[in-house]
Amino acid sequence: MAEVRHSRSHAIAGLTMGLGAGIVMLGTLLPVFSVSGDPVPDGIWGPLGLHARAGTVGFDAPFRSYITITGAWVLLMGVALIITRIRYVGPVWRVAALVGLASTSFITFVLWVLVLRPLDVLGRPTWFTDSAPVVVDALHGSTLDAGLGLYVLTVGCTVGVLAALVPAFHTRRIVKDMGGSGRNGLAPGWYPAPHSRRRTRYWDGEKWTVGA
């Protein structure tokens, strides 16, 4: 008699999720905006958790730390996905990672709104801060372009979210010796193929036949 066991792995999802988290953390170190045209007072960025330096705008230290901690959380969930072997636990780590990515994705979205449609922020100041309309007014004579950091954040969030949705994959099928005849304890006959869910192969008592 044979017992067939299926093994599932979340390794691809976990590795890709960790990659996305690393990209997000890298994005916090790079400028998210570049400003040209009329000068913008440096103090205008403070309420948004940003700071200006030499025509570029990046995250200030507290905001960078917050996003970095979020990225570290997603990275931890990716590691948990890789090492988990308990059935039905994988989705828990995926949901936890998505919760962590939600805040960073929202921040990235608002930053893109400031670049592409800044006037929309006027009607929705609670998206980011009550000072958002003041920022938009200060930018009337300036041009705000996306910086490398904003692109990197966008890629990181996208990779992380998509990774959390990647299903587990089947790695192998183990036929366990439960007693019987033949070298591996299997009597000759048709059995589920060792490396396929939907096919069967014939065991002649010594080896698997070529046909399936």
Q: How confident is the model at residue 1 (pLDDT cuts 50, 70, 90)?
A: very low
pLDDT confidence of residue 124: 54
Phi and psi angles of residue 120, each rounded to the nearest 5 degrees, phi first? -65, -25
Residue 121's pLDDT is: 56
Of 165, 18, 20, 21, the residue nearest 94 (C-alpha) = 165
**Contacts with 209 (C-beta within 8 Å, 6 or more apart), sequence order:** 201, 202, 203
Structure tokens at 47: 């309420």
Average pLDDT estimate for 58-82: 92
pLDDT digits (tens, 9 = 90+) for 108-164: 988 898 888 765 655 555 555 566 667 667 777 777 889 999 999 999 999 999 998
207 vs 211: which has the higher pLDDT? 207
pLDDT at 29 over 60: yes
> Got the DSSP string for 43-97?
GGGGGGTEEEETTEEEE-HHHHHHHHHHHHHHHHHHHHHHH--STTTHHHHHHHH
Considering the chain, what percentage of its residues have pLDDT values greater than 70? 75
Q: What is the pLDDT of residue 50?
A: 87
160-208 tens-digit pLDDT: 999 988 887 765 554 554 444 444 556 777 777 666 656 777 777 777 7
The pLDDT score that the predictor gives to residue 180 is 47
